[in-house]
Amino acid sequence: MTDPLAILIPLLNPNEPEAVLAALHVTEGQQVLPGDLLCTLETTKSAADLPAEASGYVVGLRYQQGQILPAGAVLGYIAQSPTWQPPAAEPAASQAPAQGSAIPDGLRITEPALALARQMGLELSTLPIGPLVTEAAVRQAATTTPNLAAPTSDFDPTAIIIYGAGGHGKTLLDLLTTLGVYRVAGFVDDGLARGAAVMARCMNSMGTPKNPLGGLRGSRCILKERMDYEAAKGAAPVPQLDRPDQETHAYFQEGHERA
């Protein structure tokens, strides 16, 4: 009598030592012929059908559909008699009692991904049913927190900062004022004197104590002189608002001269 033939799980992908038993096409005690389909295996990048290599009866099936099988594992045996008894299976490390939540029906997940999900405390029920779940998919699921309330913020989506404090900035200011939708929070300009004028700051107060921008610390304000210098070079004039804001008004009330 021919010795029973072990049905071994092949290595489908050198980079993945395990495969998912996507489908089991035989049952315990079923008679098969060479070439009959035994099971379908899947990895993240490939799938393969495992045919019978001999005729006989399938006995000693050790795995169920959806489980993770390491390459070289014995799926079962093909014996000449359906009553033949296979040797006791040695407990594999990957078949140790599962910790954490049970694997939901239909979830296809690799052994490393399953271990990672349990290590991270991720509920397996939140993983997608259908595609093969890998470690990358587990990490992505762990970083996605559904059904969270939107955070509160003082951000004002209508606030706008205008770049350019010359004629261009004045034109934009007039346009936005006419629209009545946006609030101009300030101006940004690469001309020091014009920027200082818009910010209502003496040029000697801008900078560091050792290197004040535009003049000498403690000296007189040179804003007017710098503005005249830029105007002589053809720079756009500083826009004058009809109603200066309170901060600007208070600044000039302290003794600073208007440009």
- Identify the pLDDT of residue 95: 41
Count of beta carbons in the 10 Å neighbourhood of residue 33: 10
The Cβ-side half-sphere exposure at 210, using a 13 Å CA radius, reads 0
- Identify the pLDDT of residue 207: 47
pTM beyond cutoff 0.75:
no
- Tell me phi and psi for residue 160, to 5 degrees: -135, 140
What average pLDDT values come out for the chain (259 residues) when binned by 10 residues? 86 84 94 95 88 94 90 92 81 42 78 81 83 84 66 78 77 85 79 53 49 51 64 56 48 51
* DSSP secondary structure string for all residues of 43-110: -SS-EEEEE-SS-EEEE-----TT-EEETT-EEEEEESSTTPPPPPPPPPGGGSPPPSSPPPTT--B-
CATH class of residue range 1-85: mainly beta
- Identify the pLDDT of residue 243: 45
CA distance 112 to 138: 10
Question: What's the alpha-carbon Rg for the chain, to the nearest Å?
Answer: 38
Structure-token pair, residue 23:
């489908």
